Amino acid sequence: MKTNPLIVALDTGDKEVLQALVEHLAPVVGAFKVGAYPFLLFGWDLVDYVHSRGSRVFLDLKLHDIPTTVANAIEVVARRRVFMVNLHTLGGREMMERASQVARELSPRPLLLGVTVLTSMETEDLEEVGIQGPVERRVLDLARLAQQSGLDGVVASPQEAKAIKEALGKEFVIVTPGVRPPGSPLHDQKRVATPREAVVAGAHYIVVGRPICQAPNPAAVAREILEELR
């Protein structure tokens, strides 16, 4: 792959550990994912630290609010030079269209990704909140709505990546969490795949967290994953 597809999830609350991970991994990986937990602890300082080490940030805040609020948030994110940011597709067409319109008017603009169905959820979980039908069908429906609303791509599990690519085209960006090297524990993820499986299925970027961050040598594990993808 021409673009480095590996995004490392920074999901710890230990500032020194976070900084050490960024320091050692920045020359190796394509970007870092900053989720709600570390962002609420350290805010834009963490984003700025990643940028100071020459790397990029996928801001994983899963924005979901009324259209004006989300559009204003996207403007703030764009001005902080964030590479990617995501928002829930269940926020609806108007919310996504407003976010896309704001992003197009700013430079540099972040990639806007729609969150379809969380990788911790299965069909039974969706039914509990009143959403009927198989996960795969709902993910594809939400991905199609995201594309129609002007988003650049979606966050979806490796299991749905192939169907999304076939239905919406190879230029529609697919970011897959729930990626685990062979033999790694699943933790709270349910719909998972190996890095190679995810990329073959159609993922442009893969998100890996604990298998890299909790390894004795995180950079070595990251290099092994990238070598597997060549």
Which stretches of the chain are DSSP H helices? 15-25, 36-42, 44-52, 67-79, 93-104, 123-128, 135-148, 158-168, 195-201, 210-213, 218-229
Query: From the candidates 2, 15, 62, 165, which is the catalytic residue?
Result: 62
Please indicate whether residue 162 is annotated as part of the active site: no
Task: Please give the Cα distance from 10 to 46 (Å, whole number).
Answer: 10
Encoded tokens for 192 = 């998972």
Q: Which of these, 9, 4, 17, 68, lies nearest to 35 by C-alpha position?
A: 9
Distance of CA 161 to the CA centre of its chain: 13
Active site residues: 62
